[in-house]
Chains A and B, each alone.
Chain A
Amino acid sequence: MSKDNYRLNVKLGGGPIFLGAGVLGAVLCVVSYVQNPRDFFASYLTAFAFFLAIALGSFFFVFVQHLARSAWSVTVRRISETVAANLPWMALLFIPIVVGAHYLLPWLDPHMRATDRLVQMKAPYLNQTFLWIRAAAYFIIWSVLSLYFLNTSRKQDESKDPALTTQMGKVAAAAAILFTLTQTFWAFDWIMSLDPHWFSTMFGVYYFAGSVVAQYCFLILISAALRGKTGRKDIYRTDHFHDAGKLLFGHNVFWTYIGFSQFFLIWYANIPEETLFFLHRSAGSWKVVSLMLPWCHFAIPFLYLMSWHVKRNIVAICIGCAWLLTMCYIDIFWLIQPNFHHEGVHFGLSDIGSILAVGGFFLFLFIRRLNSANLIPAGDPRLPDCLTYDNGVITNEQH
């Protein structure tokens, strides 16, 4: 097989549509900001945290593949590298949140800082200077590392230098530590501290578990689109979908495990300052959303994704991924919005506008970058193993 066989020149479409959606969303955001700035910022943070979860999950996927020296994932790794490289753009999309921080974080309010004993005790961590230093550190670390992995991998497309793979494996070890700390504290700063009295030590893991589920859904959907567009079933193999599906299934169970453990300990101990979190989320129509999570995020996908017949059927696995991706958004909506709407679920213009704005720009930038170079890491020394990879399931499928 000639190496040039794998220089795919196919372009993924939809860029202008997503750009249009982004612009439309931005207009809706401005309209909803004028109507009610507090609602707007809450919605914007929800949409932002959701797309950030996809980017962070993809970043996690990239460095884990390097750490594990994995061969199976080489062709699809380029997708995740490109999604993760959206992290510098996420820093730009973070600006509205910086502007609206005073609407979002109640502990920034001088009155609360002066009167609230708990907030005063947490001041060594929850103070404005440290908050902005941390935020800057998160985005700098994410941007530098995600661009490093994409650019090094692209450089290897041309040079075919196996030393770059060794180098990326080493950087991945450092990236794992930095990623764990930064994404945990990001979740503490921008989701958990929306309610400064409440705390949970496993909150960072909860956000992480959801982000990995979201990333596998996104990866499978984009792989399916590329498989359809290129017609290259030898590159986007059925075995890839099967194994990504298995990992999706596993991480979704992990999300459930973390979510349940967090709930269970708080429910059993029944200490007021901890239970308030779940009290807000069982009020009014929030109870419906709270019950949706175990059933629609866990139970239904658990049974649906269990069979390998589903994981090896591209249409079926894509339906599962679209469903779970929606559930990941609802999960983050459930984390953030009850802090702003105690009375019940509030989904309006600001939410739609924020999803369109953040999502539109996110997908537009992703597609533009994906199309700007080779679609697979053609110079990766493990590519031949990936292209002949077979996970050993007996089928009568034609590859």
Chain B
Amino acid sequence: MEKTISDVKPKVFGVLAQFSSPKDVYHAAEKVRDKGYKKWDVHSPFPIHGIDGAMGLGDSRMGWIALFSAMAGCFGGFGLQYWINMFAQPVVIGGKPLNPYPAFVPVSFEPGILFTAFGCLLGMLALNGLPRLYHALFKSANFKKFSDDGFFISIEARDPRFNLNETRKLLEDIGGRNIEVVED
């Protein structure tokens, strides 16, 4: 028998629960963190001060991405000028030596800044898994409130600690409302 699309059993993406205030979602996040979940997220219309600590997020890797982009830009910019002046087209300008390195500083600095900006933007997108056109949570009609007045916690099924009934119970216990199982 040929398989049709309606025969494919939907996979569970995770469990979504709503909270009524930033304070509630903050304290609920602390409890989810303490249970040892890793693949989960908090959704809020605005940044909540200290939520990263309550979620147990570590130091962001953005700093390292920025540092290495800056170094790539800086050394790349210097190397480009050095190669041009020393090998590709050696021209004496203003009686300066062929390698007038003080003159290379501004042009080394600028790609350093430019590459850092690119590194930060692209690194941020990569770390956030962006851009993407679809997310399973969009299936929940209630979830639309996350950009208005809703505060949510979603725990994903790919988390090793995920168990549909237990996770659901946990979200109930910590004060979640409108709990729903979201399918992928």
Taking Cβ atoms with an 8 Å cutoff, the residues of A that contact B are 260, 263-264, 267-268, 270, 306, 390, 392, 394
Contacts and interface: CB of A to CB of B under 8 A. Distances in A.
B105 A270 contact: no
Contact of B94 (A264, A270, A390, A394): A270
Given A394-B53, A394-B59, A264 B102 contact: yes
B130 interface: no
B135 interface: no
Interface residues of B, number: 14
Given A270-B94, A394-B57, A394-B59, A264 B105 contact: yes
B133 interface: no
A275 to B, nearest CB: 12
B24 interface: no
A263 B102 contact: yes
A167 B58 CA distance: 44
Nearest to B51: A394
Contact of B49 (A263, A267, A268, A392): A392
B94 A392 contact: no
17 contacts: A260-B102, A260-B105, A263-B102, A264-B102, A264-B103, A264-B106, A268-B94, A268-B102, A268-B103, A270-B94, A270-B95, A390-B50, A392-B49, A392-B50, A394-B57, A394-B58, A394-B59
Interface in B81-111: 94-95, 102-103, 105-106
A263 B101 CA distance: 13
Nearest to B57: A394
Contacts of A267: 102
B30 interface: no
Contacts of A263: 102
Contacts of A270: 94-95
A302 to B, nearest CB: 11
B95 to A, nearest CB: 7
Nearest to A267: B102
Interface of B: 49-50, 52-53, 57-59, 67, 94-95, 102-103, 105-106
Contacts of A306: 67
Contacts of B103: 264, 268
B82 to A, nearest CB: 18
A394 B105 contact: no
The 7 residue pairs across chains A and B that have the minimum distance between CB atoms = A394-B53, A394-B52, A267-B102, A264-B102, A260-B105, A394-B57, A268-B103
B67 to A, nearest CB: 8
A306 B70 CA distance: 13
A371 B52 CA distance: 41
Contacts of A268: 94, 102-103
A268 B95 CA distance: 10
Contacts of A392: 49-50
A278 to B, nearest CB: 11
Contacts of A260: 102, 105
Contacts of B52: 394
A268 B97 CA distance: 12
A263 B94 CA distance: 17
Given A264-B105, A264-B106, A270-B94, 17 more contacts: A260-B102, A260-B105, A263-B102, A264-B102, A264-B103, A267-B102, A268-B94, A268-B102, A268-B103, A270-B95, A306-B67, A392-B50, A394-B52, A394-B53, A394-B57, A394-B58, A394-B59
A50 to B, nearest CB: 27
A18 B169 CA distance: 67
A264 B101 CA distance: 11
B78 to A, nearest CB: 14
Contacts of B49: 392
Contacts of B95: 270
A270 B93 CA distance: 13
A264 B100 CA distance: 11
B33 to A, nearest CB: 12
Contacts of B50: 390, 392
A394 B53 CA distance: 5
